Structure 1
Amino acid sequence: MHAPAQTVPHAAPTDHAACRAAIRAGSKSFYAASLLLPARVRRPAYGLYAFCRCADDAVDEIRGPARRRAAVEGLAARLARAYAGYPADGPADRALADVVAEHAIPEALPRALLEGLAWDAEGRRYADLPALTAYAARVAGTVGAMMTLIMGRRAPEVLARACDLGVAMQFTNIARDVGEDARAGRLYLPLAWMAEAGLDPDAFLAAPAHDAALAGIVARLLAEADRLYARAESGIAALPADCRPAIRAAGLIYAGIGHAVAGNGHDAISRRARVGTARKLALLARAAAPGFSAPGFPALGPAASGLTAPALPATAFLVEAVPQFAAPHGPARALPAWWNLRGQALHVLDLIETWETRDARRTALP
Structure 2
Amino acid sequence: MSALGLYRARGHGIAPGDLAHCRAVIRTGSLSFHTASRVLPAAVRDPALALYAFCRLSDDEVDEGGNKAQAVLGLGRRLDAVYAGAPGDTPEDRAFAAIVARYKMPRALPEALLEGLAWDAEERRYESLADLNAYSARVASAVGAMMCVLMGVRDAHALARACDLGVAMQLTNIARDVGEDARAGRIYLPLQWLREAGIDPEAFMADPTPHPEIRAMVARLLGEARKLYLRSEAGVPRLPRRARTGIYAARFIYAGIGAELRRQGHDSITLRARTGKLQKLGWLGKSAAYAAGSALMPQPATLFAPPLPETAFLVDAVAERDGRAPGWGIGRTGALLQTLADLKAQDAMGGQQGRRA
State the TM bucket, normalised to the shorter chain.
0.7 to 0.9
Structure 2 partner of 1:239: 239
Structure 2 partner of 1:131: 131
Q: Quick one: which of 307, 331, 342 aligns to 1:311?
A: 307
> Residue by residue, what CA displacement relative to the aligned partner does 1:236-290 show, whole Å, maximum 9, x if unpaired?
1211111111000011000000010110000000000011111111111111014
The number of residues matched between the two structures is 317
Q: Quick one: which of 42, 45, 67 aligns to 2:45?
A: 42
8 Å CA contact 2:69, 2:118 repeated in 1: yes
Displacement of 1:11: 3.7
Structure 2 partner of 1:185: 185
SS in structure 1 at match of 2:92:
helix
8 Å CA contact 1:15, 1:94 repeated in 2: yes
| Structure 2 CA distance for aligned equivalents of residues 263 and 25 of structure 1 | 26
Distance 1:291 1:153, change over 3 A: closer
Alignment of 1:211-226 (within 5 A): 211-226=211-226
8 Å CA contact 1:233, 1:299 repeated in 2: no
Structure 2 partner of 1:58: 61
1:17 matched to 2:56: no
8 Å CA contact 2:11, 2:43 repeated in 1: no
8 Å CA contact 2:176, 2:258 repeated in 1: yes
| Structure 2 CA distance for aligned equivalents of residues 292 and 322 of structure 1 | 27
Displacement of 1:214: 0.6
Alignment of 1:265-344 (within 5 A): 265-290=265-290, 301=297, 303-322=299-318, 324=320
1:174 matched to 2:174: yes
Structure 1 partner of 2:249: 249
8 Å CA contact 2:22, 2:50 repeated in 1: yes
Structure 1 partner of 2:258: 258
| Structure 1 CA distance for aligned equivalents of residues 61 and 324 of structure 2 | 35
Q: Percentage identity across aligned positions? A: 57
Amino acid at match of 2:155: A
Distance 1:150 1:47, change over 3 A: same
8 Å CA contact 2:248, 2:291 repeated in 1: no
Structure 2 residue runs of 5 or longer lacking an equivalent are: 326-357
Displacement of 1:303: 1.6
Displacement of 1:300: 9.6
Amino acid at match of 1:61: E
8 Å CA contact 1:257, 1:273 repeated in 2: yes
| Structure 2 CA distance for aligned equivalents of residues 12 and 269 of structure 1 | 42
SS in structure 2 at match of 1:127:
coil
8 Å CA contact 1:145, 1:162 repeated in 2: yes
8 Å CA contact 1:105, 1:149 repeated in 2: yes
Displacement of 1:301: 3.6
Deviates more, 1:130-139 or 1:77-86: 77-86
Distance 1:101 1:288, change over 3 A: same
Distance 1:291 1:123, change over 3 A: closer
SS in structure 1 at match of 2:238:
coil
Structure 2 partner of 1:348: none
Deviates more, 1:298-307 or 1:129-138: 298-307
SS in structure 1 at match of 2:227:
helix
Amino acid at match of 1:315: T
8 Å CA contact 1:237, 1:300 repeated in 2: no
8 Å CA contact 2:245, 2:290 repeated in 1: no
Distance 1:160 1:323, change over 3 A: closer
Structure 2 partner of 1:144: 144
| Structure 2 CA distance for aligned equivalents of residues 142 and 193 of structure 1 | 26
Structure 1 partner of 2:83: 83
Displacement of 1:156: 0.9
Distance 1:204 1:243, change over 3 A: same
Displacement of 1:101: 1.6
> Residue by residue, what CA displacement relative to the aligned partner does 1:10-38 show, whole Å, maximum 9, x if unpaired?
74210010011100110011000100000
Displacement of 1:292: 8.3
Amino acid at match of 2:33: F
What is the alpha-carbon root mean square deviation over aligned residues?
Answer: 2.4
| Structure 2 CA distance for aligned equivalents of residues 217 and 208 of structure 1 | 14
| Structure 1 CA distance for aligned equivalents of residues 249 and 12 of structure 2 | 30
Structure 2 partner of 1:102: 102
Amino acid at match of 1:161: R
Structure 2 partner of 1:116: 116
1:33 matched to 2:33: no
